[in-house]
Structure formats: C-alpha cells, structure tokens
Amino acid sequence: MDLNWNLLLQLLLNGVIVGMLYGVVAMCFVLIYKSTQVVNFAQGEFVVLGAWVCWSMIAWMELHFIPAFLFALVFMTLYGVIVQVVVLRPLVGEPIISVIMATIGLSIFMQALMNWVFGNNAESFPDIFGGWKIEIGGLQVEAGYLLSFVLSIVVMLAFFWFFKYSRWGLAMRATAFNQQVAASLGISTRQVFAMAWAISALVSAIAGIVLGLVNGVSTGLAFIGIKVFPAVIVGGLDSIVGAILGGVIIGVLENGAEFVDGQILKVGNMYKVAPFYVLILILMIKPYGLFGTKDIERV
C-alpha cells in the first residue's frame, strides 16, 4: 500500500498545534472544575464569544487588532465574573445534575444570543500576517498556527507562575484542596470562585481569538467545548498538566484518525468520533485519567 507519509507528518504537526489549543481550553475547564466543582458545559461558548467580541471591535468599531484583543480580554473577564455571580452562585451546594443543567442552559442561551447579535455566517478576521508562512523541516506552517503555538506556551507558563508563586494563585490552590480549611484561614472562597470563572473566560477568549484568526469566527467554533471532554478524561479531570497533555493527545489522535481513515479505511467522519471511542475506552480502563487523583471513599 502506498501511503503518503508526508501528509502524515503534516497532519501530526497540525494535531500537536490544534491539540495545544484543546489543551488550553481543557485547562480552563479543569480550572473551574477544580476550584468550584462546576462542570462547565458552556466552555465552547466562552471561546466563541471571545472571538466574536474581538472580531466585532475590529469590524464594527474599526479598532486595530491589539486594542480589540485587549478589549475582548477585559470584556470576557467581566463576563466570567457576571456568569459566576448570577448563574452559579445561587446553585452552590445543589446536586451535580442541577449544576450541569445550569451550564447547559447557559450554553443554549449564549449560542442563540450570539447567533442573533453576530449572525449565523462565518466571518474572517482581517489578515494580520499577510499570508506569511514558515517552513519547519520541509513542512509548511501558517503564521496563525505558529502564533497559536507560541500563545499556548505563554498561557501555560503564565498559569504555572500564577499558581506557583502569586498570592491569588496560592489562595485558589488552597480552596481547591479543601474549601473549609481555606475559608477558615481567611481566604474568601466567593472571590476565588469568581476569579476562577474570570480567568477561565479570559483564557478561553485567547484560544477563541487565535482559532478565529486561523479558521474565521463562527458558532461552529463551539465544537471545541465538546472536544474538551475527551481531553480532560484522558488527562484526569482535576489535573492541569493532564489537561494540556490530554489536549495534545486528542489533537494528534484526531489527525491520526483522519490519516488512517483517508488513506486506509475510507469510512469517513472518523475525525469527529474517534476521540469519543477513546473516551469510552479510557473510562473503562483508567477512569481517573493519566494524572487525576483517585477518589477513595471510606464509610
């Protein structure tokens, strides 16, 4: 069988780059889950909203890319806080199904609202790179992809610094570890909860804008919110390192599945469902993922 190995390399490279973005969004998801015990089914909508806000600033207000980008970040930070205070705060202590349904309701609401305000069509960002491309080992890499790679690394380093050294980051880790103890040591868990949502929304917006630069903005970008689930299950639900690694694994796996599908099996659509088969498999053999903490129950 004559396989196109160059295509495989190209796909795997794409997989790593897209996977890094999955990892970044998965990290936001894990951040919220870890510090507030909320499963955010609206993560994908956060990504899209960030991209739309940045796009509308450029297209409607005729701002340059950098101020529009900064505006989108500020907007999304505030938005994250508002969502936490209005929707999630009243549900603290409610059973898990209520919390899941609340974020699902939020995602439906946001999706319809965004379709209304920004329209159903995909819009592209003005080309800020001028079609500039780079060659790495004979493979073409678009500038947008390169930017996404660099930004992903920057975000991950920033996360690392924030949680390791900053006062707020330590407070968040303490809250994630044990809410009651953290509260009795004088940490305001309310503020920590709001901040977790703010950071998550902010970082999602970065991922959304980068994705928008490469593929254009549309509601379809919210698919990344669904891809997050295989990524976090592979990595472990409460591990930030696991989320990044899980994202990369899912990105590579998707593109690998596309290659096997396109070159050998020819069944079509493997790209979309392969991550979910892996998800079920992981849940069967290692339900806490690669880095997740095992839940031990004692009576």
CB of 27 to other proteins, least distance (A): 17
> Is 129 or 277 the residue whose CB approaches other proteins more closely?
277
CB of 218 to other proteins, least distance (A): 16
Residue 240 in tokens: 């930030």
Q: End-to-end alpha-carbon separation of the chain, Å?
A: 58
CB of 107 to other proteins, least distance (A): 7
At which residue do the structure tokens 């659509």 appear?
269
> Is 155 or 243 the residue whose CB approaches other proteins more closely?
243
Which residues are at the interface with other proteins (CB under 8 A)?
A: 39, 87, 90-91, 93-98, 100-102, 104-113, 115-116, 226, 229-230, 233, 237, 267, 269, 272-273, 276-277, 279-280, 283-284, 287, 297, 299
CB of 178 to other proteins, least distance (A): 20
> Is 121 or 166 the residue whose CB approaches other proteins more closely?
121
Q: What angle do CA 292, 182, 161 make, to 5 degrees?
A: 60
> Is 251 or 275 the residue whose CB approaches other proteins more closely?
275
d(CA 273, CA 226): 11
> Is 82 or 101 the residue whose CB approaches other proteins more closely?
101
Amino acid at 260: V
How crowded is residue 215: how many other Cβ atoms within 10 Å of its Cβ? Answer: 16
CB of 106 to other proteins, least distance (A): 6
Contact by Cβ (8 Å): 231, 279: no
Identify the CA nearest to 37 among candidates 233, 201, 192: 192
